[in-house]
Chains A and B, each alone.
Chain A
Amino acid sequence: MRIGLEVHVQLKTKSKLFCNCPTDPAEPNRNICPICLGFPGIRPFPNEEAILLAFKIAKALNCRILERCFFSRKSYFYPDMPKNYQITQYEAPIGVDGWVDIGKKIRIRRVHLEEDPARLVHPGGIGGSDHVLIDYNRAGVPLVEIVTEPDFEDVEEVKRFFKKLLSILLHLRAFDPLKCSIRCDVNISLGDTRVEVKNVTGLKHIERAIRYEILRQEKLLKEGKEVKRETRHFDEKTGLTTSLREKEFEDDYGYIFDPDLPIIEGIEVEIPELPDRMVERFVEEYGLKEEKAKAIAYEGPDFASFFEEVVKDFGKPEVVASWMLTHLLKCLNFNHMRLEDTSLTPKEFVEFLRAMEEERISERYAKEMIKEWVPSGKKVEEFLKEMVSEEELRRAVEEVLREHRKAVEDYKKGKKKALEFLIGQVLRRIGGRADVKKVRRLLEESIDLK
């Protein structure tokens, strides 16, 4: 089996590729201007930020950067294209002949920059509605297209590739997982015939589309039927692919150079430390297990540098990694937030870990606290204020000991379980706002004194 991908990544830029319209999500047809609508008489002007990001991506994917590259016009008539041609790159893309290491090398054929067409909305699904709505907000958003060779042999490799690609894009600050989308054309051939599944959006659906398409082709081959060379559509609702059109010839887009846009000289760009190198360093420097190092690095540069800042101050990389990867990350994901969107600082996180270490808060409380803390932006100090005072805690212990003499006796006779009961009683009284270890210690001390 051979699988090849054409990945379209929306870049994280302030404005569109050839005009000043913002790329932020908005009500339909708000982020538009004569340029991205292709008015007669307009000229595109290239967005340097997007060009720079494309060069960085090409470099990070180990591509050869061409000395000069340029934009071309790809012509075809479709209602999502304001000009009925797309400004893209053809003969001279930004980079060629790269690779990504996912345990094996996946070859990258080319990396190029292009403009996104408008978004078509089919209110009742494709084929199910009598009209189509067009949202031009997307028209002109910068896309980087990454074309791989057909080097994937199963869906797991595709998943590993996307994980790696995503982490690289995050480290280049080229992609915003909350605002930008990844779309993909997948070419799958089990036998000799290549089938293309067009325009699948999002990693989850890309995986589903591949799994289904493999099953479909396997079944046809097993039954001795022919797999047709065609382009198929993936339906997100049903999880099935359906035939869009049979493909006897390659599409003919009649490419010409775009004479409105100047030639781009290849630029030498600086790229930051990439995830692979970072993982090595984390293992080496902090003694982290590779899995944990990977998990941190793949979350992106802000998450990783947050980790490093906290460790610099607090030490104990394993503890920091555990707290960040389990509780902090879970909470961020639950709230659809990225660490960089919160007001959380490494200093505060250190304060938080320290409070736990010093038994000013219990672990159980800490886990609850983080859920409220992360999205609200409340200060750690405020949470600490809510913890019971030493005095209050001692009073609660005294009261519990007085009220449950039987349990105290049991404990003295050697029934260890009785102490657990007493701890529970104290915590109930103070609403959990104290560290368990501390409660245990106080109880033991008090009983011993009696």
Chain B
Amino acid sequence: MKLKRLNEKTNAFITLKEEVEEAELYFSIKDNICTKDMRTTAGSKMLYNYHPPFDATVVERIRGKGEILGKTSMDSWGFGTFGTNCDFGTPRNPWDLGRSPGGSSSGAAIVASALKERNVALAESTGGSISCPASFCNVFGLTPTYGLVSRWGLISYADSLDKIGLMARDLKDIALVMNYIVGGDERDPTSYQGRVPDYTRCFGEIRGLKVGVPKEYFEHVEEEVKEKVMDGISLLDSLGAEIREVSLKLTKYALASYYIIALSEASTNLARFCGLKYGLSAEMKGEFNEYFSKVRGSGFNQESKRRIILGTFARMAGYRGRYYLKALKVRRLIINEFKEIFSRCDLIAAPTMPILPPKFEEIEELEPIQVYAMDQLTVGPNLAGIPMLSVPIGFSRGLPVGLHLMADHFREDLLFRVGRAIQEHTNYWRKVPEL
């Protein structure tokens, strides 16, 4: 295994485990998931040397099931769509090193895609951080229903949105590892305590499944992406699924609602990094506010500061009603809209990302708001807390495209069924980039 070489080329890891034993299955872990034997940085310089005293529940549950390779790179705190906000070197797309691998679970997707050995990545999504890089790197990416997987040990971005999920080249491996990590956890009161199916057995006929295709999800999508996604939908049609056009009219409000809620929560979560107990430390001088400001001023990168300021603004007196509380109401409406669709459809199918993986130079040209807009297709289902699966559905100009499947809460079984059907009838997922 040429892990070191892979890492040199792609910056997939923030921390690589020194010695890795041979195993049948390997794991990589996104660096905002706590591991007691490896530093956990959340992609931020603020925590460059943070060694958690505990394992996240998901880590506890995979220990002994395979070998852990290391901690994968990410936009700091999960703040990013392209992986360009990582404080430990910018991760690169293994299909074209000049392009973004997607974010924020960048390293997870790179390893899942480029490492020849059988491996599963533990990743995390708040607004699209699993689907986006899975799509850009040609792997399956499952974001489970909110609460299905315990968040104990996950360094928070936005607690009402954060979900730990999985990525792998082979969907069967995701099913296997899902079986390990699901199940209620008393350390996370938002975790789901109910019964769950054996995901490795969720496959079979898709004939008769009703698949909704929301027209709003094709509006600002590049033609090449649209084409491949339509090919995928045609495949479902040919396998007997009933395809029907549906409408998600609130889609245009999802982005604003998402960013307001996510950043409001994030700005409280990151408050603890002030140099007193957590984060960098500096010389204690002046009063505590001066000291805190100094630490926060030097420990957070620009995008983190932008998001903290935006989130703080949205919840301040005078703005709270107009932004934060309104965003919560919009979120409720968006959930209702998805629920309404799922009363008529089993699944929703759409493009995962509106574009092909962009070049780093192109990203530099974008305004922050244009970058945020790239999440337009993923923030809706993330706000609704429904499960979603990005499926490799072909290449355009040598770059991967993802088909996004969404299902009602706790209907991961349907995502596996349709994902496995696509897997049987295509070969894109088998491709491994040459590095």
Contacts and interface: CB of A to CB of B under 8 A. Distances in A.
A and B interact: yes
Interface of A: 34, 37-46, 73, 75, 77-79, 82-85, 250, 252, 254-262
Given A82-B277, A256-B315, A43 B271 contact: no
B276 A255 contact: no
Contacts of A77: 271, 274, 288-289, 292
Interface of B: 34, 40, 42, 47, 50, 52-54, 56, 151-156, 158-160, 186-190, 264-265, 267-268, 271-274, 276-278, 288-289, 292, 312, 315-317, 320, 324, 328
B189 A40 contact: no
A380 to B, nearest CB: 49
A41 B154 contact: yes
A41 B320 contact: no
Nearest to B47: A40
A175 to B, nearest CB: 26
Contact of B190 (A40, A41, A78, A259): A259
Contacts of B273: 40
Nearest to A132: B288
B56 A256 contact: no
A84 B50 CA distance: 19
A243 to B, nearest CB: 17
Contact of B320 (A39, A255, A258): A255
A46 B190 contact: no
Contacts, number: 102
A210 to B, nearest CB: 29
B53 A254 contact: no
Contact of A252 (B156, B160, B316): B316
A77 B54 CA distance: 26
A205 B54 CA distance: 43
Given A79-B288, A254-B315, A254-B320, A38 B272 contact: yes
B316 A43 contact: no
Contacts of B267: 75, 254
Nearest to A250: B317
A76 to B, nearest CB: 9
A347 B324 CA distance: 62
B189 A43 contact: yes
Most chain B C-beta atoms within 10 Å of own C-beta, residue among A40, A77, A78, A256: A40
A18 to B, nearest CB: 9
Contacts of B312: 75, 254
Nearest to A79: B288
Given A250-B317, A260-B189, A41 B152 contact: yes
Contacts of A254: 264, 267-268, 312, 315-317, 320
Given A43-B188, A256-B324, A260-B159, A85 B52 contact: no
Contacts of A39: 52-54, 278
Contacts of B54: 34, 39, 41
Nearest to B55: A41
Nearest to B33: A41
A79 B292 CA distance: 10
Contacts of A45: 186-189
Nearest to B315: A254
A41 B34 CA distance: 7
B155 A43 contact: no
Contacts of A83: 268, 271-272
Contact of B153 (A37, A41, A44, A250): A41
A42 B278 CA distance: 13
Given A259-B190, A260-B190, A43 B152 contact: yes
A77 B278 CA distance: 13
Interface centre among B151, B155, B159, B320, by most chain A C-beta atoms within 10 angstroms, is B159
Nearest to A85: B268
